[in-house]
Structures are given as C-alpha cells and as structure tokens.
Amino acid sequence: SSPYRHEPVEDWYIVGEEIGSGHFAVVKKVVCKRSGTEFAAKFIRKKRASTSRRGARREDIEREISILQELNHVNIIKLYDIFEDKQDVTLILELVSGGELFDFIAERDVLHESEATAFIAQVLEGLAHMHLKNIAHLDLKPENILLTNRAQAVIKLIDFGISRKIEDGKNEIQMLGTPEFVAPEVIAYEPLGLYTDMWAVGVITYILLSGCSPFLGDNKQETFANICAVDFSFDDEFFGNTSDLAKDFIRGLLVKHPGRRASVTDCLSHPWIKLF
C-alpha cells in the first residue's frame, strides 16, 4: 500500500469551501479538528483505468509530492500531510489568505516599481531555492503566486504539478504551461531547463509594471509566433514612467537563447532588484 494515510480526510479535517480547481484537482479550505488550524487541501483525482483520459497519472502525483517534500523555503507553499482513498490523493498544504498575485494586480491595475521589485525579489528567492536543487517550476504565472495577506505581502509559489528535476539534456518534455508565459524552447520542443522559469519571470515582471502581457495575441498561434519572434516592446503609453533599470531587468530575461538568458543568481544581483 502507498505511504500515504488511508483514513478519510474528513476524520481529521472539516472540509470547507472550494477555493480553486485545476486540471484534475480541486482545492478546498479545511480546518484541522485537533488544532483548529486552517489548511488548503488539494484533492487530486486519480486516473482509474490506464486508458482513461480523466484523472492524474500516479507517477505525476508522486513527482509533485516528492518535489514538494524536497522544498523548504518561506516563499514556497508547505506540504504537511498526504491522504489517499480510492479516487483521490489529497495534499494538506499551507493556506495563505491573500489569494493570487493576479487578483492583487487586477485591483491595483499596475504596481509601483518598489512594490513590483518586492514581489519579484521573493519569487526569485523561492526560485533560487528550487534551482539550487535543479528543480524547475515550469508553470510560473501570476495565478500560481499567492500572497499571505495584503499588508506585508509575503509571496508563496504554488502548483508544482508540472514541475521537474532537470537532469542535463534529458528534459525534452512535450508539455505546455500556459501559452502567455511559455518560453520559446517549450514551443520548439527543445530541452527545457531552469532557464525556462526565468523567461516566465520576465513576462510576469512586464505584466506587474504595465498591466499588459508582452506576447499575448488574439489566439494561441499568434501568441506563440510573438514568443518565438521575441516580439515585444515597452510601449510608452504603459512604460513611460518605468525606469531603465526595470526595462534592462526584463530585457535580460526575454532572451530567446536559453544560454544567454539571465539566471536566478544574475537576477538577484541585478541593480533593479538590489536597488529597492
């Protein structure tokens, strides 16, 4: 039997409202009956028959779990417990109350540069912890960056569903994150790496500062064409008041050749991040 707990989640937690849903998973707020502490429970539907298209494959569930178990950083959501029953594997995760960075931007339209660097610096700290262990997130986007609360806003990276250990040269993964945020190598089916996350940091920073998405087209094909052509610009209408340092930071990330793209270490020592 699997090392996961086979008692019903409901024996230990009061299951509350749904707060999110993904490919094969539903996320609900739960309260621990013993401690009264709130958590997020991610119910991952298991694939029943090997031929079924519904449900997550066992090896994908186990990969997400082993990656979460290897990570231990203030900017990465913590995994506390794992349950399994006939139809789901359920992850008991740290709950943060501030919701998505995405909503935070939506409410504010755009952020002041000092707010943006405070968020991006924390994304970089969490990524540095992952990249040190050769783990790439591969699905970085504002929806997967949560805030602890609106005040001092500590960010937490979530959703390691397509995250991978990068063994050099072996990661020709035919997978796709979200079109708006994927790097050129993903579209070209070339090897993915830690550098794939760095492209996404460039896209996210561009959005934080302008409210616009640099490569978004009217459809997926157009978006992919814009990405492969690295066709973006700093329109004065949105970037008129943006510092040259901020633009330089983004330019260092939206680079087609992965080897020439800024690494997480380069970014953490970039003056735009160190300055604020």
Ligand X SMILES: Cc1ccc2c(c1)c1c3c(c(C)cc1n2CCCN)C(=O)NC3=O
In the bound state with ligand X, the residue whose beta carbon lies nearer, of 161 and 252, is 161
| Minimal distance, residue 151 CB to ligand X, in Å | 15
How far apart are alpha carbons 239 and 234 in whole angstroms? 6
Residue position matching structure tokens 């610096």: 121
| Minimal distance, residue 75 CB to ligand X, in Å | 13
**Sign of dihedral through CA atoms 48, 50, 55, 57?**
positive
Q: What is the DSSP letter of 47?
A: P
| Minimal distance, residue 272 CB to ligand X, in Å | 27
Query: CA 159, 164, 165 angle in degrees (round to 5)?
Result: 135
In the bound state with ligand X, the residue whose beta carbon lies nearer, of 5 and 78, is 78
Contacts of residue 255, defined as CB under 8 A and 6 or more positions apart, other chains included, come to 199, 230, 261, 262
In the bound state with ligand X, the residue whose beta carbon lies nearer, of 143 and 190, is 143
- In whole angstroms, what separates CA 271 from the centre of its chain? 24
| Minimal distance, residue 165 CB to ligand X, in Å | 20
Q: Is 139 a catalytic residue?
A: yes
| Minimal distance, residue 129 CB to ligand X, in Å | 17
| Minimal distance, residue 21 CB to ligand X, in Å | 8
How far apart are alpha carbons 76 and 228 in whole angstroms? 30
Show the 3-state SS of 130-183: HHHCCEECCCCCHHHEEECCCCCCCEEECCCCCCEECCCCCCCCCCCCCHHHCC
In the bound state with ligand X, the residue whose beta carbon lies nearer, of 18 and 244, is 18
Catalytic residue among 85, 88, 109, 139: 139
Query: DSSP letter string over 196-210?
Result: HHHHHHHHHHHHHHH
Give me the residues that bind ligand X (CB under 6 A), please: 19-20, 27, 40, 42, 77, 93-97, 99-100, 143-144, 146, 158-159
Q: Which of 275, 272, 268 is nearest to 126 (CA)?
A: 268
Question: Could you give phi then psi for residue 67, rounded to 5 degrees?
Answer: -65, -45
In the bound state with ligand X, the residue whose beta carbon lies nearer, of 27 and 65, is 27
Residue whose beta carbon is closest to ligand X: 20
Beta bridge partners of 83: 5, 90
Residues labelled as active-site residues:
139
